[in-house]
Amino acid sequence: MRQSRVYTAQPLLPADNIELEEPASHYLARVLRLSEGDPLILFNGDGRDYSAEISGIRKKRVLVRVLDSKDSANESPLKINLVQAICRGERMDYVLQKATELGVFSIQPVNSQRVEVRLDETRQAKRMLHWQRVVISACEQSGRACVPAVQTPLSLPEWMASAGVSPRLVLDPFAQSRLSDLSVTAGSISILVGPEGGFTGEEMAKARASGVMPVSLGPRVLRTETAGPAAIAVMQAKAGDL
């Protein structure tokens, strides 16, 4: 029987006794209805899984005893940074969830001319907290113990101007080169995905001028929320991760 996996932001060490945060406590005690002595797995993003058991339940908080730890050993040898043009509501959640399940290393949201979602400072802070919770939930489900970082949104020109030695690709249905034809080994790579409606011709020209290589996923045009996960799956398969 698969044990429940729960994220905590706290430092974890074998033999520690800790009190879980309210959301995790509610999930374990009220949703799963676990009891004292039941086993579970904790992780805090350091790359290790921690075996634990419930040592007590006090009103809205669950107490746990950490037993031991082990390296999760399921991270990809290829560090993929998904550079995703911000899309609406559940579509962005889907991208973050599936990218995390597929082993993405980090996510960089970007704004471009055809992005329909415009966030002021307050809305952006709230949205980023929500996005990180989506990623954590996907880690709990998929068995990952490293939590991908969701970076502060950048404008497309800001991202293009950022220096980096790793290859940078942009998905373009009209590109001559196919993503599946690239040679991929362990290392780092960035994949830029456009918004609903795609990048403008001017944006694509500037991307190419800044060293971003256009690649195609094949003969069909994918939705913005489908393209990123599909590209990650191709890269992971070529890197030997899937």
Mean pLDDT, residues 132-152 taken together: 96
CB atoms inside a 10 Å sphere around CB 219: 7
Nearest to 72 by CA among 181, 123, 4, 146: 146
Residue 242 has pLDDT above 70, yes or no: no
Q: Residue 227, Cα to own-chain centre: how many angstroms?
A: 15
What is the SS3 assignment for 128? Answer: helix
List, for residues 85-138, the tens digit of each pLDDT value.
999 889 999 999 999 999 999 999 999 998 888 888 888 899 999 999 999 999
Residues 38 and 1: beta-carbon distance below 8 Å: no
pTM: 0.92
Q: Three-state DSSP class for 127?
A: helix
Strands of the chain, DSSP E: 5-7, 17-19, 39-43, 48-58, 61-71, 78-85, 106-111, 149-150, 154-155, 168-171, 187-193, 213-215
Distance between CA atoms of residues 50 and 52, nearest Å: 6
